[in-house]
């Protein structure tokens, strides 16, 4: 009995380790820091928490008060189609610290997405919003591509 439990635990541990290794090699995998859950970005003076959120969770909060969805893709992509209710924000404006996104109420929950969920952009975007005092920042895992893959509704302008 003890040996069966030990074998099972070893198999689970090996599977977990292999899953983490494969995830690191996958082009759309989550970095090891992000994989462990919430991570802290920014300077020690103003720490900004960023949460990775799946498509299903975004769908459940669409059009809820206190939630704003920001599309940081190109304006052409946004005008072609986007998540219903999303506001377009220029990525370059965000990184410069300017733009209409910073005029939103600071207590709003911001769900931000790009085309493919580029995890390298998270730190830069979170730092920009953190400097402006935003505390509730969510990053759509897989970006707009994952939204489309799930067959969710879109709208165009």
pTM tops 0.75, yes or no: no
Predicted pLDDT at 39:
44
Q: What is the 8-class DSSP label of residue 103?
A: G
Each residue's pLDDT tens digit, 129-146: 877 888 888 888 889 999
- Whole-angstrom Cα distance, residue 94 to residue 54? 23
Predicted pLDDT at 36:
56
Q: Which two tokens stand for residue 49?
A: 């928490």
Each residue's pLDDT tens digit, 60-104: 888 788 888 999 889 999 999 999 989 898 888 777 777 777 788
HSE toward the beta carbon, residue 9, CA cutoff 13 A: 6
């Amino acid at each position: 009995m003890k040996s069966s439990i030990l074998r099972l635990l070893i198999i689970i541990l090996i599977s977990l380790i292999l899953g983490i290794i494969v995830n690191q090699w996958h082009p759309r995998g989550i970095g090891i820091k992000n994989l462990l859950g919430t991570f802290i970005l920014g300077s020690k003076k103003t720490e900004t928490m960023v949460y990775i959120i799946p498509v299903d969770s975004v769908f459940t909060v669409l059009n809820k008060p206190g939630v704003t969805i920001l599309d940081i893709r190109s304006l052409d992509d946004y005008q072609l189609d986007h998540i219903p209710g999303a506001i377009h924000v220029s990525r370059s404006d965000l990184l410069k610290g300017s733009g209409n996104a910073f005029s939103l109420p600071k207590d709003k929950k911001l769900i931000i997405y790009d085309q493919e969920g580029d995890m390298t952009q998270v730190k830069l975007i979170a730092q920009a919003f953190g400097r402006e005092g935003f505390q509730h920042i969510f990053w759509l895992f897989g970006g707009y591509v994952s939204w489309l893959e799930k067959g969710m509704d879109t709208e165009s302008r």
